[in-house]
Amino acid sequence: MSYDDNNIFAKILRGEIPSHKVYEDEHSLAFMDVMPQAAGHALVIPKQGSRNILDADPETLSRLIPVVQKVAIAAKAAFSADGVTVVQFNEPAAGQTVYHLHFHVIPRMEGVALKP
């Protein structure tokens, strides 16, 4: 499958729809998930258009992963979390619903399950 820039995250990147941004640099953006599975649930995306990890080029990934780490560390501190779930999905069979590469960063509290 190829990348289609008519997806919601491409629209966020173009400023066509609003988002609560928590980090931005030349290549990456992080913003809060509109339907958080836990307090502080953020999404980290590349500005370069990749559908998911299966078509992302190595350079995009190598720039993105340090941002995922930065956001995970900041979210854990900001939400006084016990841990952080970092997860991402590729293609509908795996649960992907927005077709622009993204990593979920979700602060976790001991013994508290994620919202469905």
Chain residues in the site for ligand 5GP (CB under 6 A): 8, 19, 31-35, 89, 95-98
In whole angstroms, the minimum distance from the beta carbon of 48 to ligand 5GP comes to 17
Name beta bridge partners: 46.
Answer: 28
CB of 56 to ligand 5GP, least distance (A): 14
CA gap 102, 43 in Å, rounded: 6
Q: How far apart are CA 58 and CA 41, in angstroms?
A: 25
Give the integer Cα–Cα distance in Å for 33 and 111. 22
Report which secondary-structure segment, H or E, holds 42.
strand 42-46
Q: Which is nearer to ligand 5GP, 61 or 98 (CB)?
A: 98
Closer to ligand 5GP by CB, 23 or 89: give it: 89
The CB-of-31 to ligand 5GP minimum distance in angstroms stands at 5
Q: How far apart are CA 93 and CA 44, in angstroms?
A: 21
Whose Cβ is closer to ligand 5GP: residue 32's or residue 61's?
32
Known catalytic residue: 27?
no
Residues acting as catalytic residues:
102
